Structure 1
Amino acid sequence: MDFDFSAILLALTVVFGVVWGLDRLFFYKKRAARFAASGEEYRDPAPVDWARSLFPVIFVVLLLRSFVAEPFRIPSGSMMPTLDVGDFILVNKFAYGLRLPAFNNKVLSVGEPKRGDVIVFRFPGYICQDQNGNTVRSGDVTCADPQAPVPSQNWIKRIIGLPGDTIEVHNSQIVINGKPVVDTELGPFQGNPSRPEDNYLLYNNGTVWSEQLGSVTHQIARIPSLQTPSIPNPSVPSVVPPNCYIVMGDDRENSQDSRWWGCMPEQNLVGKAFVIWLSWKGLHTGGVDFHRIGTVIR
């Protein structure tokens, strides 16, 4: 998703509010008097009528999406098996604090992210060096253009490392503060070969594991034959910087995450994913998956 729907809602709220407000302050009384004098039934001009009707609706939607819960659709398999392509989820917008819509500046802190949380965040961009040797965030994965704008996209991953943690990752084996993360192989991945995201794991002999992150027990997928970047690496130090988080997808060898582009800044947080409210597998590959509806995300 390359546009910011919250920014669009905010802009529409401001435009409709200004049109309606200015009309009531400067034009309404004179117009009402003209209609009364002529004996005609009063009516607002079309732009004012639209603004008056739509402003409260859009304003309420903006408040709900900005401060209560926002819906998202999962577009890729990077969080399988926890979240599947076509899952529609709700994200708690006040789990980590209230933020201004569109600008995302925190105005009230009500909690901190925990290890194991599944979070939605604004993609921060790839860590690159500019022509002066300064570290910058770029939208170009190759860093050939360090000034390339970072696309406005919402991503979803799981928090692995908290600020101050010492993290090591080698072939998806995670060590946090000197202690290996406990995981147990459950067996081979089972899926529908007709779905590309399932077929990728099936073709590469993917396996499913149970993993313990803090108080959260969840499942991950692995493909032992594929290699992924280790931590630390040139973009990711072993110690997580302040106000930053190491995040990874649950489909460990099929997720572009902190191993590639560094830590996720706290200011980019959007909210905590908490429930699947609909799951659509595709018209010819399962349709609605009723078993996933209402699933609490852990």
Structure 2
Amino acid sequence: MTLQSLLTNFALILFILMVITGVIWCLDVFYLAKQRRAAADRALAEYDARTAKLTADGIKLDNTTSRAEIEAANMRQPTWVEYSGSFFPVIALVFFLRSFLYEPFKIPSMSMVPTLQVGDLILVNKFTYGIRLPILNKKVVQLNDPQRGDVMVFKYPRDMSQDYIKRVIGVPGDKITYENKRLTVNGKPVEYTPLEDYLNEESLTYSKQFKENLTGVEHRVIVTEAAPTVNLSDVKDFPHSEACTYRYEGFTCVVPAGNYFMMGDNRDNSADSRYWGFVPDKNIVGKAFFVWMNLGNPLKRIGSIQ
């Protein structure tokens, strides 16, 4: 499932705006303001000299313009400088927050149903898995590693311009087997508890729903019994594909070092690591942790992501 940022290439646009407004702000503080101050001082000196001469000559002073008005007129910022100076701290703050702390995304498709619904507006923690340089997405400080069960946003390996969201199923070194719609991790079958069938309100169809206990992390998944466990015709060639073996009933993959195996909770309606391979650590964006709104269901959807 592709994630749509609130604005396309918003991070780059924000960075460019921050640089432009920041340069103008610095130019004003360190140069233009001093020029205005010098111009104001000259105008005030001329005003004082003229006032002193007229007073000495016994001429009545024209008080229509005061010193304060002359100073204010000369110190007034040009409109383009005033607006840039006002916007710069706001833009810089937003850029810092979304680059290093939290970034909003919108869910456009159903691959993470029932955990995430179409239209969910979510927040992603950008520092959980380490601090990365904005735009370049290069990790500079290592913190935590992704864990099985995390809902993670990452750059799609086949198109780095797209952000995807899936659940972490396998971490480096794990042996993942998915057969007959059941997971086995490192030789241990994952526990499944049947739940009430899930109703897709758009198509008015039901899917089997289970509570999946992925090595201690419980969450809901849905499956379509009539669908194949893996559609072999959709499997692409991908890096480290030799670590996976496919068969009609499913597949087995050993997760390479520095990579992660991802799957959607809507198991039969998700293009994930089964089809396009592993997610390298360098592609990680952050951990999805909170739904803050869904315009189609504004109150019911608010809450933490399990």
Note whether the superposition's TM-score is higher than 0.5.
yes
In the other structure, the counterpart of 1:128 is: none
Runs of 4+ in 1 over 3 A off after TM superposition: 232-236
Q: 1:171, 1:36 → 2: CA distance?
A: 84
Deviations 1:94-115 (A, max 9, x none): 1111111111111212211100
Q: 1:122, 1:151 → 2: CA distance?
A: 5
Give the AA of the match of 1:297: I
Answer 1 or 2: which has greater helix percent.
2
Displacement of 1:24 after TM fit?
Answer: 2.8
Q: Does 1:16 align with 2:31?
A: no
Deviations 1:253-295 (A, max 9, x none): 11111111111111111111111111232xxxxxx242221x2
In the other structure, the counterpart of 2:260 is: 245
Given candidates 42, 64, 70, the residue that maps to 2:97 is 64
Alignment of 1:62-211 (within 5 A): 62-125=95-158, 150=159, 152-192=161-201, 195=202, 199=203, 202-203=204-205, 205-211=206-212
Give the AA of the match of 1:4: N
Displacement of 1:244 after TM fit?
Answer: 0.8
Displacement of 1:178 after TM fit?
Answer: 1.6
Q: Does 1:26 align with 2:4?
A: no
Q: 2:264, 2:160 → 1: CA distance?
A: 19
SS of residue in 2 equivalent to 1:251: coil
Give the AA of the match of 1:222: V
Deviations 1:105-135 (A, max 9, x none): 112122111000001112121xxxxxxxxxx
Q: 1:76, 1:179 → 2: CA distance?
A: 31
Pair 165,151 (structure 1): closer, same or farther in 2 beyond 3 Å: closer
Given candidates 84, 87, 90, the residue that maps to 1:54 is 87
Deviations 1:157-200 (A, max 9, x none): 100010111122234322221222221221321242xx2xxx1x
Pair 234,173 (structure 1): closer, same or farther in 2 beyond 3 Å: farther
In the other structure, the counterpart of 1:4 is: 9
Given candidates 258, 279, 283, the residue that maps to 2:294 is 279
Q: Which runs of 5+ in 1 are unaligned?
A: 126-149, 282-287
In the other structure, the counterpart of 2:56 is: none
Whether the 8 Å CA contact 2:190–2:215 is kept in 1: the answer is no
Whether the 8 Å CA contact 1:97–1:107 is kept in 2: the answer is yes
Q: CA RMSD in A?
A: 2.1
Pair 219,120 (structure 1): closer, same or farther in 2 beyond 3 Å: same
Q: Which runs of 5+ in 2 are unaligned?
A: 44-69, 244-252
Displacement of 1:234 after TM fit?
Answer: 5.2
Whether the 8 Å CA contact 1:4–1:102 is kept in 2: the answer is no
Whether the 8 Å CA contact 1:170–1:229 is kept in 2: the answer is no
Q: Does 1:259 align with 2:268?
A: no
In the other structure, the counterpart of 1:146 is: none
Q: 2:174, 2:223 → 1: CA distance?
A: 24
Count residues with an aligned counterpart.
259
Answer 1 or 2: which has greater strand percent.
2
Whether the 8 Å CA contact 1:76–1:84 is kept in 2: the answer is yes
SS of residue in 2 equivalent to 1:190: strand
TM-score for both structures, normalised by structure 1 = 0.80
Q: 1:113, 1:190 → 2: CA distance?
A: 31
Pair 61,234 (structure 1): closer, same or farther in 2 beyond 3 Å: closer
In the other structure, the counterpart of 1:147 is: none
